[in-house]
Structure 1
Amino acid sequence: MTCRWKLLILALSFFLIMVLSVSADCPQGFNKKNNKKETDCTDINECEEDVQRCGENTICMNTNGSYNCQCKGGFRSPTRKVNFTDGRCIDIQECLEIKDICGPNAKCENAIPYYSCTCDDGFISTTGNKTFRHDQNATCEDINECQKGNACGQNALCHNTQGSYYCVCNAGFGLKSGRLNFSGNLEQCEDINECQKGNPCGQNASCNNTQGSYYCICNAGFTNYGKKTSRCTELNCDVFKAINGLEEKFPIVKQLNKRCQELTGDKSQNHSDQTNQTEEDLLKRLQSEIDRLLSSEFLKDRRRVSTFLDLVEKILRLIGAVTEMPGRNTTSTHTELEMLVDHGSVIPKRNTTLSTKHAKLDIQMEMAAGEPAYYPGFTTVSLMSYSNLENSTDGFFNGMKPQKNQSFKINSKVATVTVSNRNTSHLKTPVNLTLYHLEEQANQTFHICVFWDSSLNGGSWSDRGCSVAESSLEYTSCSCNHLGTFAILTAHNEIEEKFEFHLIIWVFLSLSLICLFISILTFSMIRSIKSPRTTIHLNLCISLFIANLVVLAGISHIENQDGCTVVTGILHFSYLATFLWMCLDSVQLFRMIMLVLNTNFKTLHMMAAAYGVPAVIVAISALANSKGHGTERYCWVTQGFIWNYFGPACVIIIVNIFFFFITVWKLAQKFSSVNPDLDDLHKIEAFTISALAQLFVLGNTWIFGSFQFQENHTAMAYLTIFGSLEGVMLFTVYCLFSRQVREEYKHALTRICAPRKKSDRKAHVSKKAQDTRECQL
């Protein structure tokens, strides 16, 4: 070894010894500061040393006494540690590891150190950049190609889609390839010559092609109702010629005949005086003239009704054909019309509903349009209801086949259904028409769907081709395989009223009137029996006498409406007064037993209650419904207001029953007492039995008998027979069963048949006075 190497080794050894001696007192990662005390140590910043401690794609982070290595963005440690001192960093595959990192309508491409997102074709980023990352708040949105220039060219309509678009040729244009749509510039829409494809105008017209369309020139006598691309159909204007004098009552027919001639191209007619009215004006004038006809007596003849309804259908069909979509909805004084119009070369195949206040129609538009071979290019449906046509047509029932003792009456408004299809005599698919009832009918009636058949004796209602689909108290739904004018009939099953039945009623009522008259004389003329209860019985017999007399004389005279109203009012008042006097009788009996035997009502108070309350009820009924008096067969309260009679009557009967039960109960208690006053109790017992008999006679028979005026039940008819004997029963109970009255009758007969001596008469009077004191209450 040379001297030079020995000196070098010695120098290195000395340096090493010096270093170790300087840092020997500091921990690892620290060293002593220069010119400081030996105990001061400072951190060594390993990251600033020349030695690369962390490797590629890392960041060195110095710490107190040491250091850490962290991966740069887009990289991570294989061990997934954030801080480390040994190892390396590898690239993160974001496109594989994070699902949908770029969002919808975009694709992800991995890069070092990060990744990039690119929008799919037809989309663009919201920031406008071609590439982006999710942390840049960018998404891909659709590009609306239809807003950028003329993407589809001429004669086509552009439709944008998500990420793309497509083009559809305008009507009258098409593609040579026959495809329905296209995109790009490979194909362009060209005009279609419709006149060479089939015969869109029909055999009764010539077709002329135009750019994107065509038009039809109809032959003489044919029309497409002003719609140039519609098929030409025959239009017979003869139907608008005046028939049966309607030219004077229905002037619109003349105007519509001129309009029809114009539509058919008939140049032989002079149209110089024609006013250019719109379809809406024609509808208003039509309804105005219908109102005038319905307000007159002109339509009382069935042939005029047939002509009128036939013309209305043809007029609605003509006006509907020249009316623009979607139609019209108009109302007048006596009519209500809803019209639906649909235009198009394709027949509509939807269901539709039309409704007015009194009717509702459910119909298929395909049926209303008719057969495809005769489809004129439009479809119309009309529903017209009349407010009072039922009055003119009620009674024309020759087309019906009633059963025995069955009668018919119209119970709905009349409605006309018209469609553009002219062949509606036998439909493959029935139409459903709902008509609302005018009156709610009783259970013994049922409803029938009918239409006006002009071929039956000049015009009549018929149920041919119609059936009831659903029926309730408020409405009836009909299913018919043809169209026309419809209504609902109510069929009444009447009982067979024999002559013997009427004869029995007349005889019994006459007998009751005689007995009631004798009872009135008895209670008013025999002073010895007069008391508050006989006053009640007197007025009870008077009220029932008036009621029976009016029943016998005028209850069946319904031909005079005013007279029938008076009869109904008298009967209503008399029967209610009868029930109230019966109620006062039961209350008086109750007071006699519960209070004092001689406790009585004042006559004036009883008169005010028994006659005042019925007068108020009858007056209210008359003011509420002036036409509510008179049924189909009798002068009596109509069904809608019948409870103005039944209500008070039922309340009175319930009150009577309540007081009678209490009276009988108290009477039984008095009989079971230790020292009952047998004379008074026997008198009250007799009063109670007579009052109960009165309740049965007046309470039951007349409630049931009054139903005879409303419903035709045989059982009710025979209960009416028993009710007609009420006067006889009251005479028997109050007069013949009374010993005192019998004595008076006997005395009167004795005086008439064999006058006695004066002494005998004095003895009789003395005995009568004694008996009177014993029987007087």
Structure 2
Amino acid sequence: MRGSPVPAGLCFLLSVLGAVAQQTGGPCHLSCPLNAHCINSTHCTCKRGYSPDSKKPFFNYPFEKCNDIDECKPPYSIYCGVKAKCHNTEGDFQCRCDSGYKLLSGKTEFKDASENTCQNITSQTQPTEVKKELQQIVDGLESFLTNNTLWGTGEKSEIASRATFILQDVESTALELALIAPEQKIQKIRNKTMAIETRVVSNNCSEGRRIFSLNTDANSMDIHCDDVIQGNTQGPSAVAFISYSSLGNIINASFFDEMAEKDRIYLNSHVVSAAIGPKRNISLSKSVTMSFQHLKVNPRRERTICVYWKTTKEGSHWSTDGCFLIQANESHTKCSTTHLSSFAVLVAYTNQEEDPVLTVITYVGLGLSLLCLFLAALTFLLCKAIHNTSTSLHLQLSICLFFAHLLFLTAIDRTEPKVLCAVVAGALHFLYLASFTWMLLEGLHLFLTARNLAVVNYSSTNRLIKWLMFPVGYGVPAVIVAISAASRAHLYGTPERCWLQLEQGFIWGFLGPVCAIICANLVFFLLVLWILKRKLSSLNSEVSTIQNVRMLTLKATAQLFILGCTWGLGMLQVGSAACVMAYLFTIINSLQGFFIFLVYCLLSQQVWKQYQKWFTVNIKSKSEAETHTLSSKFGPDSKPSEDN
């Protein structure tokens, strides 16, 4: 097996830490000590592989000494790759294969891990020897992984490259050693910084277990047998699962390029790596499930993100591609991934501190909307003078929004028990989708009403809407929610909110219909304005028709808020305008119930007349009741008392 190389610049970097570039500039006027040379005729500097006693790179002190640097010990610790060790020499170092191994070229020494081709000399290896060799490799990497001086030097890209080579090298070695002794079905090796478990699988998945579980340091992986053998009929296959307890400190959250606010991210699990062999396939036919134990308790306010170590030509970094969150609680997180090989999957968390002002606006706005929606629903039910198709649409929209807002205020944060949280999320999904569907019907009816101003007979279409509105208003949302629940019921409810999870595109079961309805209502709104403009420009219109048109224009403008078009502000929360858009979105949409009551009740002359009638009847009834009480008290049979 060819060992995975450490970056070519690493050895150069380590060998010159105690020296400088060799530059000469004419005859030297100084007597430089042994293992040193003159530079610029004014100073001496130690040769590569040597370090001065004074630790200064340049000196002119005649008694300075240049001592040999042991590159094989901290803080340098040259990494030669697997099955090889670093050996110090005078002013230099060499990498040599371990006992029982040799280079393919036949040479005895090499410079860095990129030249490592150490192969096993013997044809057969005992299982005990394999396990011992794997333990030696793990122990040899411990000092390298915990060398803060080494990892603290170099550019970010170089650190990522070193980590990538380690991940690939350890994976390849673990798989190779597992396949050397296939009779050893399970091997487990660990120390303070690493833990490895390998599993050898026969070439037939029809017998035995279909799912294999591997565990290292409270982290686990479940992988299907078919993905392990990969159709391999030539011999056994192997799967390796590796956990690194300290690597997360090196390739930390700063390597997560997909998140802008990196200072609010941290890794909350070990870095783990998984691989299958002898074929190093990346894509899998079935998803692999990984479970991570949190390094510290996960607060509910934090969001879980599953990521993997992605390697490209530009460099390596954490990415979410192909990684999905299944479940998360305070102590563990489950993720699924569709690829393995030289990838590491872990869990990251980002603080999502809520803006207290937005929270207050939300609760106050929704509270006011609940009151207005309740009054509006009572008006639509009791005011017989306005009973028509339009009123029925207003009533159903008010009812759906009322129960959606009420459930949001009372149960959105009740994440335990999980079954109840999933039910709440499903109910909110249905109620908000139903609300938007009724908004769509409102927009369609508004367009048809405006068009009816120019069409003499439009009653047939109006009857069609009246017949279809209930099947569409409640049927379409019910079908969408039923399909979502049947396909991915486990994605209802998140660790923080009783709502739809973002993973696997599940949230588009809500956002997709909402975006379509917003676009449709915006088109209806523009068409209504175009129709009204034509009517207002007509010189032969009757005064009553003009008044109706003006009222429709006012209502059409208000419909932007009622029809949910302002939800588009939520998609504009990016860049420098994100904060402003967040406030506008929260204020306008939390007051949607107030706008409904304002437009359809307070601005309606018929409703005002009905309010006045109710108020007059109430005052009259109260007055008659008081008169009846007085007449009963001072009637003809009553005699007021006289003062003596």
Select the structure of larger CA radius of gyration: 1
TM-score normalised according to structure 1 size: 0.41
User: Greater RCO between the two (CA within 8 Å, min separation 6)?
Assistant: 2
The structure carrying a bigger helix percent of its residues is 2
